[in-house]
Amino acid sequence: MVARTAREILRWLEGLYLTYPVIIPKWDLSNGYTYAEILHAYFPKDINMFAFINGRSLNARLLNWTLIKQFIAKKNLPISIQLIDATLHGKDGGAEGLLEQTYQLLTNKKPFIDSPYERDESFSDHPYQQNLSYYEQAHASKSIKNNLKISELFTDPSYAYQAKRSQAILDQARADRQAMRTANPRRFRVKPTLAERCLRQPLQPDSNAQDWYLKSFDLRSRSVTSITNKSSSVKHQSRHTSANVPKRRSPSQQRSDQEQIEANEDNALYKEIILRQHAVPLGDLLQPIES
């Protein structure tokens, strides 16, 4: 949701008779002049309004907020410096959070905030984007523009910081895109992979792994015996149709015939081969089915 200001705070600001009314805190408090007037209403001897510049330039904003930080450090006021920096750069939720903290400090009252309108700790527009439709959400470049302000690049010209912030925004946008594709597979024509198609169903919670192995062996052995019976019947029919001419078999063919193992359930070697061919890790079988 879009960050909004509580009604008690708006009434409080109207009662201070500020020079410029606070309509959109994100923009009206960014230069620090209006916030200095709020503090001047409670500390008129400590705040000199003639020392502040009512301008929109970055130098004016930095000067005003530097004076405010010095006053906060002098009075030991419990006001967050992160909220001040977020308000200076015009980040989402920074000015609203600063007003809430200041209102609670100066009036000793806690404003009522709706739970759906709680703001992000990193002062990004991600909560707002999540409430939009998938065709209305910002793409990767727009997300970087919204969450990485130009004033941040001037005040902290570190290339490592810029790369880290940009990569974090891109990772979040990629994760949102993947979640969107998962939630709407028909729109994006997402096809299941071969591994997803071949996933085995986990073992039922009320069944035993040994019983499952025995049941699987019975099914496999029956299928193998049926296949061998069909092949032997086909060979028997072909022998009757063909002429009764004795054929000599090569030594390699005779050796392969001797090495063949008959499909017999009583044969221990045959049973072990079947279990090894169709064995499944016991850890995968014991995983409970997710409801």
Q: Please state which CATH class domain 7-117 belongs to.
A: mainly alpha
Cα separation, 131 vs 117, in Å, equals 11
Residues of the chain with CATH 1.10.418.10: 7-117
What's the pLDDT score for residue 1?
40
Report pLDDT digits (tens) over 114-150. Answer: 655 556 777 888 888 888 888 888 888 888 888 888 8
Residue 271 has pLDDT above 70, yes or no: no
* Residues sharing a CB contact under 8 Å with residue 281, sequence separation 6 or more, in sequence order: none
Please name the residue that has the structure tokens 């390699």.
Answer: 252
Burial grade of 13 (CB within 10 A; 0-12, 13-18, 19 or more): buried
pTM of the model: 0.60
Give me 153's structure tokens. 């690049």
Residue 189 has pLDDT above 90, yes or no: no
Residue type, 80: S
* Residues sharing a CB contact under 8 Å with residue 188, sequence separation 6 or more, in sequence order: 180, 181
Residue 186 has pLDDT above 90, yes or no: no
